Structure 1
Amino acid sequence: MSLGEFLDVLPLSYPDAVVVAGTAVVGFVAGLLGPLAVLRQRSMFGDAMSHGTLAGVAVAFLVTGAKVPELLLLGAAISAAIAAFAMIALERTGRMRSDAAIGIVLSVSLTLGIVLLTGIAGTGDAGQAGLDEYLLGQTAGMVERDIVVALVLAGVAVVAVGLGFRLLRSATFDPGFTAVAGVRTWVVDAASTGLLALAVVLGVRTVGAILMVALLVAPVVAARQLTTTLATLMPLSGLIGAASGAVGGVTAGRAELPAGPVIVLLATALAVLSVVLAPRRGVLARIRRGRVRVSG
């Protein structure tokens, strides 16, 4: 079945079907790769990378003079990688604490991106219209080509996680084992950082640079209340992210609201419900167990 046939099968209008499919893929990738940030306490690392994409989008537009999504995403990927390397360099060679390095890179990259976007908007170039959507995200302009790009990147992420799952798991829970196994720690760090960058770049147009980190974190928080194994956590988090992206994306479009905030609010709501209502680890379940112990 081709992509066009799949979209026709969905019980939605064509524009809504495109949004649902596109945002579902974006949400799935963010949820799938989110544990690489959350479990390794690198959530703010991903936040700094997502803010760094703004400058890359602006520079890509200035260089090419055209708002071609693939070229803008390439610029975003390069700037996200530069932000990641800058944080690592400041932490290792500048003898800075991790939070200080992240704060510096996040502030500088966001400021640079806003300055460049503001400067481009001031030129009066009609072709720059819509670049500001990368701040808070926008789904209204999604087309089938966007879904194809998202599916390709999602396939890369799934294959990479499948092939390197054992190393990623050991690097998350037992970094010492990775070194003992003969694999250099920096190789695994580079791979996990690259996967995070992929998720960030894929979602920045839909969710926006400012809120992308929330889509990496919220599905993981929800899924962690329901499972204790990484092999189950990653796909479950991906499914929660996909549901948040699909429902939030089409809701934002119909209500004429920015896509990013709506998707993030929905994902956060699911996380809160999971924290409260999860059958074993939820707040209510713990309260019930406490009452049983007291009465016993």
Structure 2
Amino acid sequence: MIDRLLGALPLAYPDAVVVVGTAALGFVAGALGPFVVLRGRAMFGDAMSHATLPGVAIAFLVAGAKEPGTLLAGAAVAALLAALLLIALVRSARIATDAAIGVVLSLSLTLGLVLLTHIASTGDSQQAGLDAYLLGQAAGMVERDIALTLTLGALALTAVVVWFRLLRAASFDPGFSAIIGARPWLVDAASTGLLAVAIVLGVRTVGAILMVALLVAPCVAARQLVTTLAALVPLAGVIGAGAGVAGGVLSGHAELPAGPVIVLLATGAAVLSVVFAPRRGVLARRRRGLAREPGAAAGPPQGVLR
């Protein structure tokens, strides 16, 4: 199936692999992003993303080989440990959330750089390319990466569909989700797991530093255009996929790194949406403000998400 899809594209095989892979990643990250943004966990995700770097390095040191599955498993474990550490610092040590995120993020990045430097100094030829997990290397994608993204992404999105009502309640009213019998720790675990899936899938393509932008930017762009979470999730996915496709094509023609190009395009879409969205954009709000007569009562809020 993947072979036929790649063959149907009017692109060289390596470019087709990058475009399909980044499109799949962009859709998964974009669709999962609203559950990060609406719960105010963007920087939480950033800390988890940075934690994948030492996870990859430690997995390489333990396995002694650059096997993608092992490295991604190490990244997933490290991301989840970072999430647990953040929760412990905030709830048990009573450290402010932003301070806890700063501690975990800086610790993760520093540890990752130290470990990568140590690995590079050993002269092991197997370590070549590990630094790509810092900023991503979409050009190194193969069909197995596409299959992994599609499989894990499908599982994550299926979980979103099955538990959509619960995730929506937790995003807008955590107190209500507790009243209806949903245990807060279970909801937190589910949302953190979904976040970990998106981060682990994207860390090799977009990189540990930029991955959070691919979660946030499509959501910001879509948020200006729709008024329901049920519409926000797929639209953010489509915007993320579009950025992935355009970034994959442009990076191949211009010989630029795909990850940063994809993030720039997604961010550009967010900026355009914030400014030009027909109902919630800056210009639309400005026009309504000028058209409103002095002393007239303000109308209902435009585009309140529900």
Structure 2, gaps ≥5 residues long: 297-306
Q: For residues 45-194 of structure 1, what are the structure 2 equivalents within 5 Å?
A: 45-194=44-193
Amino acid at match of 1:273: L
Question: What's the secondary structure of 1:11's corresponding residue?
Answer: coil
Deviation per residue, 1:106-126 (Å, 9 max, x gap): 110111011101111111111
Amino acid at match of 2:114: V
Question: What's the secondary structure of 2:26's corresponding residue?
Answer: helix
Give the Å deviation of 1:84.
0.3
Q: For residues 276-295 of structure 1, what are the structure 2 equivalents within 5 Å?
A: 276-294=275-293
Give the Å deviation of 1:294.
4.3
Deviation per residue, 1:225-277 (Å, 9 max, x gap): 00011111011001101111121123223322222211111101000111111
Deviation per residue, 1:200-232 (Å, 9 max, x gap): 111111110001111111001000000011111
Report the Cα distance in structure 1 between the residues aligned to 2:247 and 2:174, rounded to whole angstroms. Answer: 37
Residue 234 (str. 1) matches residue 221 (str. 2): no
Question: What's the secondary structure of 2:80's corresponding residue?
Answer: helix
The count of residues paired between Structure 1 and Structure 2 equals 295
Deviation per residue, 1:48-72 (Å, 9 max, x gap): 0000000011011111111111111
Deviation per residue, 1:151-204 (Å, 9 max, x gap): 011111111101110000000001111111111111001100110011011111
RMSD of the alignment, in Å? 1.2
Structure 1, 256-265 or 13-22: larger mean CA deviation = 256-265
Question: What's the secondary structure of 2:260's corresponding residue?
Answer: helix
Match of 2:201 in 1: 202
Match of 2:4 in 1: 5
Whether the aligned pair in 2 keeps the contact of 1:31 and 1:216 (CA below 8 Å) is yes
Scaled by the length of structure 2, what TM-score is found?
0.94
Match of 1:223 in 2: 222
Report the Cα distance in structure 1 between the residues aligned to 2:58 and 2:248, rounded to whole angstroms. Answer: 27
Give the Å deviation of 1:17.
0.9
Scaled by the length of structure 1, what TM-score is found?
0.97
4+ runs deviating over 6 angstroms:
none
Give the Å deviation of 1:141.
1.2
Match of 1:270 in 2: 269
Match of 1:252 in 2: 251
Fraction of identical pairs, as percent? 69
Report the Cα distance in structure 2 between the residues aligned to 1:183 and 1:293, rounded to whole angstroms. Answer: 44
Report the Cα distance in structure 2 between the residues aligned to 1:98 and 1:257, rounded to whole angstroms. Answer: 36
Report the Cα distance in structure 2 between the residues aligned to 1:254 and 1:82, rounded to whole angstroms. Answer: 39
